[in-house]
Amino acid sequence: MIEDLDQKEIKPDPPEDEFSLKEIIPSISPLAAACIGLIGGFFLYQIVGGTLTLLIFGMNIKNAPVNGLRLMTMAGEVLFILLPALLFTKWFYKDITRVLRVKIPELKELLLFTLGLIVLIPLLQAFMTIQNFYIDKLAQHYHLINYLKSLLDKLDAYVETTYEGLIRPGSIPEAGLIILIVAVVPAICEETMFRGFVQRSFEFKMKPVKAALLTAVFFGLYHFNPYGLFALIALGFYLGYASYSSNSIILAMFLHFLNNFAAIIIYFAAGNRDVLDNSAVSGADAKMAFIALIVSLLLFAGVIYLIRNYYSQKNMRKEYAGMP
């Protein structure tokens, strides 16, 4: 029996519901459903939500009460991202629990993927430092790139100013409200839409890796962060990988929360907007970032190996337990 087991090719453990999508009959094309979710979510949150904000607070947003803006941001996430994702899932697929992968992850999964996120965050920071360094260098030599950079700088400054106003605390209770609005609510709402409804819709028509990557691209674009686009895509892909591998959107929500929570705590500790600043860096900083990038890549590859090995061992135990 053991020899037969050794001769079998051990593959990474697939999610428990690998074939469950075959049992679900969508009421429309899953690709159309994904597009409806992406376009509908964008329109509702950015257009409708933005219009309501202007109607309530007027054109002078900078002088609007900050807690009012925070609550409006939270309401927009819930009403225009979470609620549509749940309704679309119910209308198009009927089975919300299975399609959205509503399942508590195992403790070891939680620890392994959290370790991966701890390594991934400095990796992405190092990448962004190197990216910005070379963008500045190219802008000095090419007029077109310098013009495009000036446009990106204006968009980035607007995003930084808006985000800074939301996460600057005036008191301890206010800091708790910021954590709720910036870390907890987006983790639940955005993961339900992206890793839940959108990625699962793509999985009906394409391989999980492609579905996770495509969803990550839209996730990055959704945040309107020009210099953080590739980092956001990488983060979104990791969240998609975690959700698929564990068959749990709750794991993706937890990782999303940790990422946002870490950013808030770093900002609180720094006490200024340098944390949000994407200005040029020196050559020495770029060299240090390059070293950090290489080290982080090696560490991250090691964590991915541990994750894959965990699922391989889990699959091996299942095969062994199922043998006559």
Distance of alpha carbon 278 from the chain centroid: 20
Domain ranges for the chain: 11-321
Predicted local confidence at residue 281, as pLDDT: 66
Could you give the C-alpha distances from 181 to 58, 80, 230, in angstroms and in order?
22, 15, 24
Q: Give me 122's structure tokens.
A: 């400095």
d(CA 271, CA 171): 13
Helices (DSSP H) in the chain: which residue ranges? Answer: 2-7, 30-42, 49-57, 66-77, 83-93, 96-99, 107-141, 143-167, 172-179, 185-191, 199-203, 208-222, 229-246, 249-270, 283-321
Predicted local confidence at residue 8, as pLDDT: 41
Could you give the C-alpha distances from 3 to 12, 186, 315, in angstroms and in order?
20, 50, 17
Single pTM value for the model: 0.89
Mean pLDDT by 10 residues, the chain (324 residues): 40 50 86 94 84 77 78 91 96 93 95 98 95 91 90 81 76 88 96 97 94 97 90 98 96 97 86 55 84 97 96 81 56
Q: Give me 204's structure tokens.
A: 């009906």
d(CA 272, CA 268): 8
Is residue 264 within 8 Å of residue 182, measured between CB atoms? yes
Distant-in-sequence, close-in-space partners of 126: CB < 8 Å, separation ≥ 6: 289, 290, 292, 293, 296
Is residue 323 within 8 Å of residue 5, measured between CB atoms? yes
